Amino acid sequence: MKAMLLVFAAAGVLAAGVGYAQSGTDVVKSKCAACHEADKKKVGPSFKESAAKYKGDKGAQAKVVEKLKEGKGHPKVAASDDELKAAVKQALSTK
């Protein structure tokens, strides 16, 4: 009985997506591509433009992740911290 309960609990966690972090590229494609492109303005600035804006700023990744999490200057993005960090790293590395 306990084993069956553990199996159902694990299945529920996996079904909810808990513990699964997408790659930066996957997050960018699924969460960002509707409004941003790599090299041209769409609804929001291009990743190239954002990367240039934050070039040389050591705290840029943390700043942008916080904006995405809190919805400050950008709509909130429903993603885990790891996914947001991966997506921001991917976007800010655009040349």
Confidence at 14, pLDDT banded by 50, 70, 90: very low
Whether residue 42 is contained in a domain is answered as: yes
> DSSP letter string over the chain?
-HHHHHHHHHHHHHHHTTT----HHHHIIIIITTT--SSS-SSS--HHHHHHHHTT-TTHHHHHHHHHHHTSSS------HHHHHHHHHHHHT--
Whether residue 4 is contained in a domain is answered as: no
Summarize pLDDT for 19-72 with one digit per residue, the tens. 556 788 898 999 999 999 999 999 999 999 999 999 999 999 999 999 999 998
Whether residue 88 is contained in a domain is answered as: yes
Whether residue 1 is contained in a domain is answered as: no
CATH code (residue 85)? 1.10.760.10
Specify the number of domains making up the chain.
1
14 vs 82, residue with greater confidence: 82
> Is the predicted pLDDT of residue 95 greater than 70, yes or no?
yes
Whether residue 14 is contained in a domain is answered as: no
Whether residue 84 is contained in a domain is answered as: yes
Domain limits for position 62 = 23-92
> Is the predicted pLDDT of residue 8 greater than 60, yes or no?
no
Whether residue 62 is contained in a domain is answered as: yes
Whether residue 8 is contained in a domain is answered as: no
